[in-house]
Amino acid sequence: MNTEPKDSFYRRPLPEGLVSFTSMEGRRLLREALTAGDAEAFYPLVAHLHTQAEPAWCGIGTLVTVLNALEIDPGRIWKGPWRFFGEDLLTCCKSLDLAAVEGMSLSEVACLAQCNGARVQTVYAEPEGLDAFRTALLKSLRAPAGPFMVANYDRATLGQTGTGHFSPLAAWHQASDQVLILDVARFKYPPHWVPVSRLWAALQGLDAASARPRGYLLMERADAITAHPAGLAQLLERLRAAGAGACLTPPTL
């Protein structure tokens, strides 16, 4: 007896203009980016690339990837005797159950990163910010130990299904001006190359919950582990008014 849900899915084809990471073209772009020194972030990020465990946990799955790539000690046991970031450790700022329903906003993902030992710069994608975005992007992708860039973008602007999404960025190909998105929803789309101008347009997509554009985060190791649990109350108070925009809710799959 077939017990498959009537509307079940197995991945999605990439829209036209996006290049799969594993295709021959995608491999060529990566080789050339590595040779040019524009993919130094690739190795630490891909070594820890995590597939989000829930449809709306893209922000949480992205943080598992980035916090481990930054080699931050969570200071708490994950499994057995091991200290390592898994989604179940990322419980400050917003409960996992609520995040599974609502997703997370840009400010909430920043809060979650901060209370787990990262220093975070939050940038909303205002129209005049393209030059600053490009400068920060290239600096990040040329750095093997961070800061790593996390993009919060509108999938529909890229021709993909769904709404808001989080994923880390890992490489830039100069000649074609494309950036490699390590999509943490690997059950849906593989890592893929996107023109920088198209990604910038997607970053400017409005987050309906916060009524602000989306944007990006720059994450690096803090000088000391911050706010878990010491100092967390102050951090939460400062961000309490933040919106809770969904990153990828089940109805929009």
Q: What pLDDT, in 10s, does the model give residues 18-67?
A: 999 999 999 999 999 999 999 999 999 999 999 999 999 999 999 999 99
> Percentage of residues in the chain with pLDDT exceeding 90?
74
Q: How far is it, in rounded angstroms, from Cα 109 to Cα 31?
A: 31
Residue pair 51/61 in contact (Cβ under 8 Å)? The answer is: yes
Residue pair 228/236 in contact (Cβ under 8 Å)? The answer is: no
Q: How far is it, in rounded angstroms, from Cα 142 to Cα 164?
A: 26
Q: Which residues of 87-108 are buried (b: 16+ CB within 10 A; e: fewer)?
A: bebbbbbbeeeebbebbbbbbb
Q: Confirm whether 165 is a catalytic residue.
A: yes
Q: Could you say which of 48, 50, 165, 192 is catalytic?
A: 165
CATH class of 26-252: alpha beta
Confidence of residue 74 (pLDDT cuts 50, 70, 90): very high
For the segment 100-106, the average pLDDT, to the nearest whole number, is: 85
Looking at the predicted structure, is the pLDDT value of residue 106 above 80?
yes
Q: Confirm whether 183 is a catalytic residue.
A: yes
**pLDDT reported for residue 97:** 86
Residue pair 109/63 in contact (Cβ under 8 Å)? The answer is: yes
**pLDDT reported for residue 229:** 45
Q: Could you say which of 48, 50, 58, 192 is catalytic?
A: 58
Q: Could you say which of 115, 183, 228, 247 is catalytic?
A: 183
Confidence of residue 91 (pLDDT cuts 50, 70, 90): confident
List CB contacts of 179: < 8 A, sequence separation 6 or more. 137, 141, 169, 171, 172, 173, 193, 194, 195, 196, 199
Confidence of residue 6 (pLDDT cuts 50, 70, 90): low
Q: How far is it, in rounded angstroms, from Cα 17 to Cα 199?
A: 12
Looking at the predicted structure, is the pLDDT value of residue 104 above 90?
no
